[in-house]
Amino acid sequence: MTHVMVEDILAQVRAALERDDYAAAAAALEPMRAADQADLFIELDDRQQTALLTRLDPEDSADILEEMEDEEAARLVTTLSHDAAVRIIDEMEPDEAVDLLGELEPHHQEHVLSRLEDEAELRPLLLHPEDTAGGLMTSEYLALGRRMTAGEALAALRTWRPDVEDIDEVYLIDRHGRLTGMVGMRRLLMADHATVLADLNDPEMVSAPAGTDQEEVARLMARYDLSTLPVVDSQGVLIGVITIDDVIDVIEEETTEDFQRFGGGEPLDRPYLESGVLTVVRKRIGWLLLLFLTETLTGSVLRHFEAEMASVVSLAFFIPLLIGTGGNAGSQTTSTIIRALAVEDLDRRGLWRPLIHEATVGVVLGGLMAAVAYGRALLWGTGPAVALTVSVAIFAIVVWANVLGSVLPILANRLKIDPTVVSGPAMSTLVDATGLFIYFTVAGLILAF
């Protein structure tokens, strides 16, 4: 569906709503895919959303709510009658329904939950924290006794006709409900009817305990190319299945969080333009202040070297240049190290290898930058002694920034701190004060104050 078509349908829906023709508006929305419907939907005002939601087929309404942010969907549900809310939530996938229910006020949640058809199925799902395997899993999956034959299994499926989202695996359980294996639907289909399911078992099956962190779930599924991941309780009993589409959302969400931390702010919980000014300020002011206070160290260093600065004013001209370059070199290093920690499990290789690698890179980069800086300083008409000072200082600062930039994220990771906290802004700030100290110390040695 192209951009233009979406705009077109939006206009049709709006026109229909203007004349309070909800049937026409619903008809215009009908042929679109859920993700596109949801995009359209959030452009409407509250009154229109509520009116439309109760007129659409409950299955379509459920799809739209599934595509929306949980908080937004929950807010919308509170504007509906209990009847309408129950009718729609009953059509949602269990994992999505639970995410939405989790955002409702406790009494409202209880009220809706107690009237849902799937109450018994949803209630246990609500117990798992949202960012764990248990919080991601759905309770709609296929589980069959491992002693069944393929023929019995196929006959059972044809009679039962289960509605199981996108799960194309049959999970095998023993008589205690414990997960013992897995058979792909295609394998089952092609098997000899007399074969016992246990003999069709895929030996490469991976499962995860309910408490597994969602980042670890994503890592497992990406590593082993899984499209579904069964979830078990502490007794090994199969309690749910995670589908890859939910994990892609997790990966996207975690990337966004990493990016925002990397940029020196706390992640926003909601889409950018829907986050109020004060929310954005609250997410940023903490880091901005902390970095500011750390950065005041630069003032202390400069005051310490006040006499030197006053005697050779041209030293001051190079301050932003030197500390800026140090910050950039450090930022280049941390960004590489942070991703290597996330994707390649770099920490397994120890602290020394990356440290030496980056120090070596720093020596080469620093040497090149020193040569350029020397030339640039002379071109500005700076005396050779100051030019030499700048050149030596930039070499030392780049090497220092590369070392800091490699060690700090790894140490953070070991201390179970998200390594993105040692990100661009934090890195620049750390390098600024120490870089100035290096600069004036070099100046002292060369210019012999």
Distance CA 46, CA 364 (A): 60
Distance CA 425, CA 422 (A): 8
Residue closer to a copy of itself (CB basis): 148 or 280 = 280
> Binding to a copy of itself by residue 310, rule CB under 8 A?
yes
List the end-to-end C-alpha distance of the chain, in Å, as a whole number. Answer: 71
Q: Is there binding between residue 306 and a copy of itself (CB under 8 A)?
A: yes
Segment near a copy of itself (CB under 8 A); pick from 18-26, 99-107, 178-186, 233-241: 178-186
Task: Identify whether the C-beta of residue 44 lies closer than 8 Å to the C-beta of residue 52.
Answer: yes
Near a copy of itself in 67-96, by CB under 8 A = none
How near is the Cβ of 105 to a copy of itself at its closest, in Å?
28
**Shortest distance (Å) from residue 338 CB to a copy of itself:** 7
- Stretch of 107-115, 234-242, 422-430, 441-449 contacting a copy of itself, by CB under 8 A: 422-430
Which position among 428, 434, 440, 442 is part of the footprint of a copy of itself (CB under 8 A)?
A: 428
Closest CA to 171 of 143, 146, 150, 209: 143
CA distance 55 to 65: 14
3-class state of residue 257 by DSSP: helix
x-marked contacts with a copy of itself along 319-358 as a string, rule CB under 8 A:
xxx-xxx-xxx-xxxxxxxxxx--xx-x-xx---xx--x-
Token digits for 186? 């295609």
168 binds a copy of itself per the rule CB under 8 A: yes
Nearer to a copy of itself, 54 or 333 (CB): 333
11 is a site residue for a copy of itself (CB under 8 A) = no
Nearer to a copy of itself, 154 or 446 (CB): 154
29 binds a copy of itself (CB under 8 A): no
Which DSSP string corresponds to 136-157?
A: H-BS--EEEETTSBHHHHHHHH
Q: Which two tokens stand for residue 358?
A: 């980056």
What is the closest distance, in whole angstroms, from the C-beta atom of residue 94 to a copy of itself in the complex?
15
Residues 264-303 that bind a copy of itself (CB under 8 A): 264-265, 268, 271-273, 277-278, 280-281, 284-285, 287-289, 291-293, 295-296, 298-299, 302-303
- Determine the interface stretch with a copy of itself among 97-105, 113-121, 233-241, 430-438 (rule: CB under 8 A): 430-438
Token pair for residue 418? 């998200």
Tokens of 121: 């199925």
**432 closest CA partner among 313, 285, 277, 295:** 295
Total binding residues toward a copy of itself, as defined by CB under 8 A = 113
Q: Is 262 in the site for a copy of itself (CB under 8 A)?
A: yes
In the complex with a copy of itself, the residue whose CB is nearer, 239 or 337, is 337
CB of 35 to a copy of itself, least distance (A): 5
Q: What is the smallest separation between the CB atom of 432 and a copy of itself, expressed in angstroms?
A: 5
Q: Using the minimum distance from each CB to a copy of itself, give the nearer residue, 251 or 403.
A: 251
Please report, as residue ranges, which positions from 367 to 386 form the binding site for a copy of itself (by CB under 8 A). Answer: 368-369, 372-373, 376, 380
Q: How far is the CB of 103 from a copy of itself (least distance, A)?
A: 20
DSSP state, 78? T
Residues across the chain: 449
Minimum Å gap between C-beta 293 and a copy of itself is 8
Nearer to a copy of itself, 54 or 413 (CB): 413
User: Are residues 369 and 400 in contact, defined by beta-carbon separation less than 8 angstroms?
Assistant: no
Q: Which of residues 44-63 bind a copy of itself (CB under 8 A)?
A: none
| Strand order across the beta sheet in which 169-173 lies | 142-145, 169-173, 179-184
Question: What DSSP string describes 110-137?
Answer: HHHHTT-TTHHHHHHHTTS-TTBHHHH-
Contact 309, 381 (CB under 8 A): no
Q: Does 436 bind a copy of itself (CB under 8 A)?
A: yes
Positive or negative, the Cα torsion across 428, 431, 436, 438? negative
As a whole number of angstroms, the distance between CA 257 and CA 250 comes to: 10
Contacts of 30 (CB under 8 A, 6+ apart): 56, 57, 60
In DSSP terms, 171 is beta-bridged to: 143, 182
The footprint of a copy of itself on residues 212-251 (CB under 8 A) is 221-227, 244-245, 248-249, 251
Residue list 181-200, contact with a copy of itself (CB under 8 A): 184-186, 189-190
Can you name the residues that pair with 80 across neighbouring β-strands? none
CB of 252 to a copy of itself, least distance (A): 6
Nearest CB to a copy of itself, comparing residues 67 and 112? 67
- Strands 179-184, 142-145: pairing is unpaired
Q: Does 311 bind a copy of itself (CB under 8 A)?
A: no
